[in-house]
Chain A
Amino acid sequence: MVPITTLHYLVVAAALFVLGVIGVLTRRNVVVVLMSIELILNAVNLNLVAFSRVWGLHGQIFSIFVITDAAAEAAVGLGILIAFFRNKETVNVDEVDLLKW
């Protein structure tokens, strides 16, 4: 059986990161875009924790702060989305079209 090395974690993290970026760039629903951003931040966490295996605890501490930040961003994001929804009745990104050029 192949031992699981740090590299394996990094490949998974890179895959998550790319999926998150693609999600942000292609999805229409704001909630799904927010979820894709969470995916990117989770890739960061996975990276940090995997590197912690090599370098010690610093990375895990960093990942705790990244998790907190993700929660704060999600909360503010949903709050703004609610305010937006109340005025406009849609959660689709391509209907966010008042400001252009």
Chain B
Amino acid sequence: MPQNYVPIFIFIAIIGVLIPVTLLAAKLVRPDNPHKEKLMPYECGIDPVDSARGRYTVRFYIVAILFVVFDVETIFLFPWAVKFKAFGLFGLFEMLIFLGILIVGYIWIWKKGALEWV
């Protein structure tokens, strides 16, 4: 039903107005004297040592891979949770089997040391 979306449109409209207004207000109110030190990117108060476009260490990728794999399992849990009562005990066991397979994978990753930040 389209009328169900009316609150969302109002919400979007408010955001659309609010953001420019606050930004503009801040610009009008704040003192404005740019300085070389102030225009530098902020890195915990230390001077930036390198270009921000440098390479990430490969370990981040491993964390990302593990995250993606275990994140996606929730997509199966959602529809299952919605229909949990209809499936009953059978559904519970099916999901336990599914999670069991994932846990085997988890144990394997753990023992292989992929979770450690070497």
Contacts and interface: CB of A to CB of B under 8 A. Distances in A.
- Asked if the two chains touch in their complex, CB atoms less than 8 Å apart, one says yes
Interface string B70-86: 01100110010000000
B11 interface: no
Chain B interface category by residue count:
10 to 19
Contacts of B64: 78
A17 B79 CA distance: 27
A64 interface: yes
A61 B75 CA distance: 10
B97 interface: no
Nearest to B2: A3
Chain A interface category by residue count:
10 to 19
B65 A67 contact: no
Interface in A73-96: 74-75, 78-79, 81-82, 85-86
A29 B101 CA distance: 34
A67 B72 contact: yes
A11 interface: no
B69 to A, nearest CB: 5
Given A71-B68, A75-B65, A81-B61, 15 more contacts: A61-B79, A64-B75, A67-B72, A68-B72, A71-B71, A71-B72, A72-B69, A74-B68, A75-B68, A75-B69, A78-B61, A78-B64, A79-B65, A82-B61, A86-B58
Interface of A: 61, 64, 67-68, 71-72, 74-75, 78-79, 81-82, 85-86
Q: Which A-B residue pairs are the 7 nearest by beta carbons?
A: A71-B72, A75-B65, A75-B69, A71-B68, A78-B65, A75-B68, A68-B72
